Amino acid sequence: MRILGIIMAGGKGERLYPLTKDRSKPSVPFGGNYRIVDFVLSNFVNSGIFSSYVLVQYLSQSLIEYLRTTWRSEGIIPDHFLTCVPPQMRLGEIWYRGTADSVRQNINLVKDFNPDLVAIFGADHIYRMDVRQMIDFHLKNKADVTVAANSVSIKEASAFGVLGVDKDSRIVQFDEKPAKPQPIPGNPKMAYASMGNYIFNTDVLLQVLQKRFCDVPALDFGKHILPKILTDHRTFAYNFQSQTLPGAKPYEEPGYWRDVGTIESFWQTNMDLLGPKPKLDLNNPQWPVNTTASRLPPVKNLGGTVIDSMLGNGCIIYPKTKIKHSVLSSGVIVHEGAEIEDCVIMDSCEIKAGAKLKKVIMDRFNTTAPRQTIGHDPEADAQKYYIDPSGIVVIPRGKSKF
């Protein structure tokens, strides 16, 4: 069976500003060694989907360069590829106008590959998913369209697109952020939230995009297409939490899936990786998250105290430092007497001697002053940095030294 992956990676990520000041959301560093886009790409490769197009748009150069240097696009056979696709403007001099429009503007790629199924996934969530199990569900139910669904509480469901299903998991209703979400049959306290990931039969995708909705300019799968195809096409909800993920630990949160679309959620999701029993354990050889092959040496700790933290390759930790409950990316240097707590420090940053940082997200290529304090005095921090409503201090990307 021929399966084509299409990854929608063109979003602005405005709520994640200033981390998205110079890059798109999927290109934002995450978890010490990764970029956000690594998670969906790893899910595809681990699931045996080796033919994928990545649709990019806003501030895309960082993402394009990262994929070029990290994810090799040449496969053993011609059908194994990973290709970035900027807007081609085949339908006129227009940018992508929604998730479905981005696919519609590149429908020639689908036709040329001639797959049986098209897996259309977003690029800006943190999760592990065996897509093959979703495909098996799609085939078993003779579905035309399958939507990945995550079980959320009724109280939380109003923040999502909610899938109303019958007892056989066929979608009978779709509501965008409803005041009264429809519960899962037999489970009145939970509802199905759309994850924005779809499996389409190719003929159905072509019919929907080229005929039924061909005259609709701005076009989203969730907002426009899904609610209107339920009666005409066999559309099912796949329960993401029903999967059995290889290598998953018993203490991990079932169905872990996070939209890191805000500063607070981005910080909290990084914190979820910490502790002896993390909600998402990145140490899973059976389902690895692939990323850059680091050419940096191992971590060098010269006498600092490191508690419940993750350190990327090339970090140097000098004596009398204290690093607690934090995520440090590769090449971070922490000088003598510095203190870092509840922080996300991205690669190639330098924390000078005696500096104290608490609940700070520091983007790449930044250097503090000696004995500088950040995250301890909101009024002083507000004069220099962006402070999120959650209280997290965000320092935008600095200038590379190279």
Alpha carbon distance 162, 164 (integer Å): 6
| pLDDT (0 to 100) of residue 244 | 96
* 75 pLDDT tier (thresholds 50, 70, 90): low
Alpha carbon distance 225, 155 (integer Å): 26
Please determine, for residue 149, whether its predicted confidence score (pLDDT) is greater than 90: yes
Who has greater pLDDT, 11 or 111? 111
| pLDDT (0 to 100) of residue 90 | 65
Q: According to CATH, what is the number of the domain 3-265? A: 3.90.550.10
Please determine, for residue 58, whether its predicted confidence score (pLDDT) is greater than 90: no
| pLDDT (0 to 100) of residue 86 | 85
- The mean pLDDT value for 273-302 works out to 93
Enter the pTM of the model: 0.94
* 77 pLDDT tier (thresholds 50, 70, 90): confident
Alpha carbon distance 399, 43 (integer Å): 32
Classify 225 as helix, strand or coil. Answer: helix
| pLDDT (0 to 100) of residue 220 | 86
| pLDDT (0 to 100) of residue 295 | 81
CATH 2.160.10.10-classified regions of the chain: 300-395
Please determine, for residue 205, whether its predicted confidence score (pLDDT) is greater than 90: yes
Please determine, for residue 200, whether its predicted confidence score (pLDDT) is greater than 90: yes
- The mean pLDDT value for 246-269 works out to 95
| pLDDT (0 to 100) of residue 95 | 73
| pLDDT (0 to 100) of residue 167 | 94
- The mean pLDDT value for 314-333 works out to 97
* 52 pLDDT tier (thresholds 50, 70, 90): very high
pLDDT digits (tens, 9 = 90+) for 376-393: 999 999 999 999 999 999
Distances (CA, A) of 257 to 40, 152, 195, 214, 321: 11, 11, 9, 33, 34
Of the candidate CATH numbers 2.160.10.10, 1.10.3720.10, 3.40.50.2000, 1.10.230.10, the domain formed by 300-395 belongs to: 2.160.10.10
Segments in 90-192 forming alpha helices (H): 99-104, 107-113, 131-140, 154-157
- The mean pLDDT value for 344-373 works out to 97
CATH 3.90.550.10-classified regions of the chain: 3-265
